[in-house]
Each structure stands twice: as structure tokens, then as C-alpha cells.
A = this chain, B = another copy of it.
Amino acid sequence: MSPERPRVGLAVVGAGYWGPNLARNAQKTPAMRLEYLCDLDVDRARSVMGDYSTVRVVGSFEDVLADPAVDAVAIATPAATHYKVAMAALEAGKHVLVEKPLAPSFAEGRELVEAADRYGRVLMLDHTYCYTQAVGYLRNLIRDGELGDLQYLDSVRINLGLVQRDVDVLWDLAPHDLSIFQSILPDGVHPVSVAAHGSDPVRAGRACIVYLTVRLSNGVIAHVHVNWLSPTKIRKMVIGGSARTVVWDDLEPLQRLSIYDRGVECRDPEELGVDGRAATMVSYRTGDMVAPAIQDKEALGAVMAEFADSILQRRQPLTDGRSGLQVLAMLEAASASLAGGGEFVPVREVPAPTSDAVLPRIEVPA
């Protein structure tokens, strides 16, 4: 590393399940300098870093915020604390990368977004899946019109999961699917309303199985099935289009994406004679399937690179605070539907920035 090349000084906060992954990837990011791993449980943090590390381990978040060597913090604390930790960091002038969900409520999430705008700081969500090669490929397929008109999105994310104490399965798993949807949907398409049905058959005190139906502004349904109680693991998304359909199986590392040139199309009745109209108004295509070659890199490395780059370039990251806020809006509507009778609940709109300090959005090619 040449001395003149600027590096972002980072503190990782939280040494639980995900924090160690953030710390590991930060150390591999050339544009970063990992300064601290911070956790109230200092022994735990020390054991995460191991016996051979020069990275400092601290228990006091205040000390971290007070250190001018720290430009940014990556927050992997329990979901309920995200708002407080992130707000303190922003107020201390730090850039912030935060685990999903951005905050426990839309209102708090909006405050964070506004604070980042006001202070001119990067507020980025660690929507890790959005940085996989697979999602990048999907985004391009859809933007380039390769799929034709979008027909449906269906995501299944089930396995034997830890029944969390502070969130239900909806807030634990569905942010992945909702952030992926958001990342790949064509410009101008946004969620309108959400219905959620769930159950808690193990009497854990929170939903362990949830089915989520999102109505999009183009009339398309996006459906999500999240489940903590399944003994088999499924991570499968199907995105149907009029020209092609893609299946993304994240558990098939050698063939994550399968693009089918097969489908069903409605034909214009005018094109059909009387007989044709009587018999069918639909035509079928049976074509080949292509599984594109996709590099298998750890997405969290790309998250870290984007965080560093957006700070150094003084621009919004790909998964900025507003993207996290839109996910929050869907989660909140889903929770309201769950708590009610499963009816469709409107999704709140994400407000546009008003502050002068707000960082510019820059089109980031996938």
C-alpha cells in the first residue's frame, strides 16, 4: 500500500455472530484500516481477534467515537440497539455501516437517514446479498430487458434457524429477500401494500413461519416464505418474465443461476382466428436453459469495498440509508398485517432528502 493512498479508519462494533465476519473482511480491504473491535464483552472480542492480532480490542464505544483515527463504524450489535449506536456514531461525525434492519421502526430509521443527510455522512446498510455476483447478474438481466416484462417474484428462505429473542422470523430473514427485490426491480417499480400470514407453532412468543405477499406498483406479486422450523435448508428465488425466467438457487454454488428460455405468453385474440380463440389464448415456448458462469467471491468483501469507496468518493453507497428505510417500510406493514387479520397494509413512502449536506447519488454499475 503506498503511503499517499488514503485509507478509511474503521471500528467494528459487536463481536457476536456477524461482527467477526465484518472484522475479517475489513482486514482484507486495501482501502480500510481496521482500528478496533469493540464489544461490551471484551473477553469475547479478544477471543474473536485471537492471539496473533495487532487490532485493538475495547469495551467502551465512547472511546472509539472519541478517537480521530476512526472515520467509520460498522455496527453488528443486536437489532434493538441499531438506532442508538448508529445515531451516536453519526453525531460523532462518523460514517456508518449497519446490519439489517436499519432500526426497529420506520420512524427511527427515518431519523437516521435524516441525520446522515444533515451531517453529510455515509449511512450504508449491510444488505450483503445485494453485493453477490448473482444479484448483480439478476439486476443487469432485468435492466437490460432480457427477462421481458416481469411476471412474478417468489423467494423461499427456510432452514432450522435460531429462534431469536428480539425479532421474529420476518424481521430476521425477510430483510434479505426484500433488499434483493429492491436491488433488482426496474426503476420506478415500488412496493404498494403487503399482507403477511404467520404462525408460532413452537410457542416461542413470536412468529416462526411467515408468508409475505408484496403487491408492486406494476401489479406484480412478490412473495416470500421465511421459516425457522424447516429441517432442510432452501434458499431459492424464482423471477418470472415474459421472455425468460431465472431460478436462483443459492445452495448450488456451481449453478446458482438458471435462465430458462421457456414460458407462457398471452396472445392477442385478434391474431387468432375464431377457432384459435375458442381453443386457447396462450402460447408456450420450450427453449434451452443457460447457467451463466459466475465467480464465487465472498460478498462481504464487496460490501466493505463499497463502504470505503463511497466514503472516499463522498457519495451514496449502493445500499444507502433510504434503501434500508424502504425495507423497514415493508417490514412494518407486514408486522401490522400479521398483528391484524392478514389483510393488505399500505407501505409508507420513503421521503426525499431535504438537507444541503446530503451526499450525491452516483450511478454504480453492477
Contact = CB atoms under 8 A, between A and B. Distances in A.
A149 B201 contact: yes
Given A163-B282, A284-B160, A220 B232 contact: no
B205 A281 contact: yes
Copies of this chain present: 4
A21 interface: no
A129 interface: no
B265 A202 contact: yes
A229 B240 CA distance: 8
A188 interface: no
A152 B201 CA distance: 8
A233 B53 CA distance: 36
Interface size class of A (residues with CB under 8 A): 35 or more
29 contacts: A1-B51, A27-B51, A27-B52, A28-B50, A51-B54, A52-B55, A54-B54, A149-B201, A152-B229, A160-B262, A162-B282, A197-B213, A197-B223, A199-B219, A201-B220, A201-B240, A201-B242, A202-B282, A204-B282, A208-B264, A211-B211, A213-B342, A231-B247, A255-B289, A261-B293, A288-B291, A289-B290, A290-B291, A343-B343
Interface of A: 1, 27-28, 34, 50-55, 149-152, 154, 156, 160, 162-163, 165, 195, 197-199, 201-205, 208-209, 211, 213, 219-221, 223, 225, 227-233, 238, 240, 242, 245, 247, 254-255, 258, 260-266, 279-282, 284, 286-293, 341-344
